[in-house]
Structures are given as C-alpha cells and as structure tokens.
Structure 1
Amino acid sequence: MPAAVAMRHHPLLKAMSERLLGRGQVKMQVIGALMRELVHLTFGILKSQKPFDPSCAIATS
C-alpha cells in the first residue's frame, strides 16, 4: 500500500510512475517498481544516517 499512496502523493515517485506509465508499463508493474524504489530509498537513509534529500533521491534516466 505505501507504493500505491506514494504513486499519488509523493512528488518524486509520482513523476516516476507517470514516466513508467508513459513507457507503456501496466499499473501493477509501476507499483512493483515503486516498491523497489521505496526499499532502496529506505536502505540508503538507514545506511548513511543522513536525512532524506529529494535532490539526489531518484535518477531521471
């Protein structure tokens, strides 16, 4: 459920979901990609012990 909520409300993940949907992926594939991205963000924050920085959170490629 966090990925579905982030898909609608988190600006960075919303842009990512729109980009993936524009490439032709179905909604469940996008939710899976958002779940993976949330895990990566969480692991990075926990490992680095630094606060979340949206400027370097998601690569735009």
Structure 2
Amino acid sequence: MCSYAGLTLVVRQSGSSVKGRPRISKMGNQKLKNLLFMCSFTACKYNKACRALYERIVVKGKRKILALIAVCNKLLKQAFAIARSGLIFDNEYKSTLAKN
C-alpha cells in the first residue's frame, strides 16, 4: 500500500563505491501522496500517535519533512488497518504485538 502511494524509499547505489542518500520514490499515486501529506499536518496536531512519532523523529535531529513523510506512512497504515478489520478507530488502542 505504501508503494502504491509513493511513500517508500529508493536507495541510489551503483556498486560498492557510489552511494547516494535514500530518497522518497517519485512513483506512485501523486494525488494520494499529496492528500496524505496535507493530512499529516493535522494529524501531527490532533492524533497522539502521529504527534509522538513526529516529535521522536525531529528530536533525533532528522528533517521535519522526513518526519511528515513518516506520519503519512502511519496514517496510510492506520486507514488500511481500519478498512481491513472493519472496527471503529480507537485512539487508546495498544497492539498486543508492541513491546511494553
């Protein structure tokens, strides 16, 4: 799903000597990517999990746009999980697979 939206990383490498920084893929559905990016601003403000992810990445010294792309990825995964399970979104939900 993340690949379809164009939110995956592309590693630019040629052999063992030429290594570029990973970049966000230009492939994928541009409208969906733009929509998720605009939604990530609001999600950072009101969604606790997205805000925590954004702040955790920014505190590490990463760029803010990289943190917003990570929030886009999280939003897409949340939406897909809700659609697949058919359950109502629960802001207080904790996964049983998550480490304590």
TM-score tier after normalising by the smaller chain length: 0.7 to 0.9
Identity of paired residues, percent?
25
Structure 1 residue corresponding to 2:60, chosen from 23, 30, 33:
23
| TM-score relative to the length of structure 1 | 0.81
Structure 1 residues not aligned, in runs of 5+: none
Structure 2 residues not aligned, in runs of 5+: 1-37
Which is helix-richer, 1 or 2?
1
| TM-score relative to the length of structure 2 | 0.53
What residue in structure 1 maps to residue 75 of structure 2? 38
- Count of equivalent residues: 59
Structure 1 residue corresponding to 2:86, chosen from 24, 33, 49:
49
Specify the structure having the higher radius of gyration (Cα). Answer: 2
Moved over 4 A (4+): none
RMSD: 1.8
Whole-angstrom CA distance in 2 between matches of 1:9 and 1:50: 20
Whole-angstrom CA distance in 2 between matches of 1:9 and 1:49: 22
Which is strand-richer, 1 or 2?
2
